[in-house]
Amino acid sequence: MRPDEASRIEGDDGSRTTPSQKKWAALRRRPRRTTILRYNKAMPRYHRLGQLPRYRHTQFRKPNGELYSEQLFSTRGFSGPMATMYHINLPTEVAGWEDIGDVSVKFLTDEALRHRHLKTRTMPARGDALSGRIPLMGNNDVIWYQVHVAEQMKDFYKNAEGDELLFVHNGSGVCETMFGDINFSPGDYLVIPRGTIYRMQFDSLPTMMLAIESHGPIEIPNRYRNEVGQLLEHAPYSERDIRPPHELKTYDQEGEFHVIVKARKRHTRYTYRFHPFDIVGWDGFCYPWAFNIKDFAPITGKLHMPPPIHQTFHGHNFVICSFCPRILDFHPDAIVVPYNHSNVDSDEVLYYCNDKFGSRKGIEEGSITLHPLGIPHGPQPGAVEASIGATKTEELAVMLDTYYPLMLTEQALALEDPNYWKSWQTKQLSGV
Ligand SMILES: [Fe+2]
């Protein structure tokens, strides 16, 4: 018997294997971490509202004996996050449709590389939460719309080709969805999976908000979650901060109801005979939810912490971070504003919810700065020295970092502070 044969042991299936082979076999049998995360990362947890039959795909009848209509709601075939819902009427019945037209964003592809500052505060309010969207920048992964809402939405809306992240700067109201109502207030992020029919209703107008449209799903970062998707102790928020729809309102109404569907970069207005929120119950892992930026618990340190510490969401080729009021770095010699950095592989966008940003001069509430990849940025002259001794910050900002360049739109140029790129000059140079 050779030495290696002496160490062979009996396998589960009666075959003879070495300890090393058994170890690898065990690893292969173990559920793969990536597989588990893929199925758990998109939504915080299983949720259900309303009435459900005991088993899926079985007879579920109304009080009058007719069948409810079951619908599987999925964002990625039959294997992505899903919900199963039960309609009073057929969700497939359409009374008519009307092509509204092309809504693709026209990006500027010949703009020079330079730092940008857009001032959005004085944008006039116009339209509703959909028609008022002004595209400012984007790429193949994400589009940033600025919205100063003037009117309530009358029609319902469904984005069938992108997930949406809405950020409510000010104002409050209710986001009515097919999954139920979500109340919102200033600082709320609303994460809306593609395919969700919804309508924003505001308590007062005008209201400032952002609409970020994502080609891929908007998710909670993997590094905040364990193998079953639960938020970890070091995550800057917990499941208690996630607000799914809290009340399912079922409308058994016949009439004329319009749903604007975004797909193929066009809007099509669908007319239905029955109210689209005729759902008596649903359950699953796919639904809209809210998280308020004030519930983000900043992680602070002895020395300056980099932007990833503020990460809130993850998208395809981009991240969203929240810069919130916090205690600053506590080393006695700490410089509490960011060091200059060369973001050679990402474009950085900051949306300022107030003007209390220690490292940045000249910004105001509603400002947007875009620091594109390829040129360094950092605090303006004097900001480092002025920051020394500060123990806390009241800054509040939303950050979008993309791995691929963002292109601006004509509408963005109309809001631009053309002298922003000069704000790092230590003396005024002649000829510029
Ligand atoms: Fe930066």
pLDDT in tens, 129-141: 999 999 999 999 9
Quickly tell me which residue has 């618990």 as its tokens: 297
Residue 54 token pair? 């005991």
Residue 301 token pair? 């340190």
The predicted pLDDT at position 90 comes to: 98
- Check: CB of residue 148 under 8 Å from CB of residue 126: yes
CA angle 37, 40, 45 (to 5 degrees): 150
If you average pLDDT over residues 354-376, what whole number do you get? 90
| Residue 116 pLDDT exceeds 80 | yes
What separation in Å is there between the alpha carbon of 377 and the centre of ligand 1? 6
Spatial CB neighbours of 322, under 8 Å, sequence gap ≥ 6: 293, 296, 310, 312, 397, 398, 399
Residues 322-337: pLDDT tens digits? 999 999 999 999 999 9
361 falls in which pLDDT band (50, 70, 90)? confident
User: Which of 9-13, 14-18, 332-336, 368-372 is predicted least confidently?
Assistant: 9-13
Spatial CB neighbours of 194, under 8 Å, sequence gap ≥ 6: 75, 159, 160, 161, 162, 163, 164
Average pLDDT, the chain: 90
What separation in Å is there between the alpha carbon of 213 and the centre of ligand 1? 22
Residues 59-83: pLDDT tens digits? 999 999 999 999 999 988 898 899 9
Choice between 54 and 432, residue whose per-residue pLDDT is larger: 54
The predicted pLDDT at position 21 comes to: 53
Smallest CA-to-CA distance from 413 within 113, 111, 102 is with: 111
What separation in Å is there between the alpha carbon of 373 and the centre of ligand 1? 10
Residue 43 token pair? 């939504």
40 falls in which pLDDT band (50, 70, 90)? very low
Please give the share of the chain, as a percent, with pLDDT higher than 70: 89
Residue 121 token pair? 């505060």
What separation in Å is there between the alpha carbon of 379 and the centre of ligand 1? 9
| Residue 120 pLDDT exceeds 80 | yes
The predicted pLDDT at position 20 comes to: 53
How would you list the strands of the sheet with 407-408, edge to edge? Answer: 289-292, 188-192, 163-168, 207-214, 142-149, 133-138, 407-408
7 falls in which pLDDT band (50, 70, 90)? very low
What separation in Å is there between the alpha carbon of 207 and the centre of ligand 1? 28
Q: How far apart are CA 59 and CA 72, in angstroms?
A: 15
| Residue 201 pLDDT exceeds 60 | yes
Residues 212-269: pLDDT tens digits? 999 999 999 999 999 989 999 999 999 999 999 999 999 999 999 999 999 999 999 9
First and final C-alpha spacing in the chain: 85
What separation in Å is there between the alpha carbon of 348 and the centre of ligand 1? 6
Residue 8 token pair? 């062979």
Smallest CA-to-CA distance from 375 within 348, 415, 413, 393 is with: 348
The predicted pLDDT at position 126 comes to: 98
What separation in Å is there between the alpha carbon of 424 and the centre of ligand 1? 14
What separation in Å is there between the alpha carbon of 341 and the centre of ligand 1? 6
What separation in Å is there between the alpha carbon of 310 and the centre of ligand 1? 12
What separation in Å is there between the alpha carbon of 164 and the centre of ligand 1? 24
| Residue 8 pLDDT exceeds 70 | no
Smallest CA-to-CA distance from 83 within 122, 110, 54, 56 is with: 56
What separation in Å is there between the alpha carbon of 291 and the centre of ligand 1? 24
What separation in Å is there between the alpha carbon of 401 and the centre of ligand 1? 9
CA angle 319, 139, 423 (to 5 degrees): 75
Spatial CB neighbours of 69, under 8 Å, sequence gap ≥ 6: 86, 87, 88, 89, 90, 91
Smallest CA-to-CA distance from 209 within 315, 134, 141 is with: 134
What separation in Å is there between the alpha carbon of 284 and the centre of ligand 1? 38
Structural domains in the chain, CATH included, are: 96-107+125-277+286-293 (2.60.120.10), 294-424 (2.60.120.10)
| Residue 13 pLDDT exceeds 70 | no
Choice between 136 and 12, residue whose per-residue pLDDT is larger: 136
What separation in Å is there between the alpha carbon of 406 and the centre of ligand 1? 15
Choice between 301 and 428, residue whose per-residue pLDDT is larger: 301
Spatial CB neighbours of 48, under 8 Å, sequence gap ≥ 6: 281, 282, 283, 284
| Residue 149 pLDDT exceeds 60 | yes
359 falls in which pLDDT band (50, 70, 90)? confident
The predicted pLDDT at position 362 comes to: 86
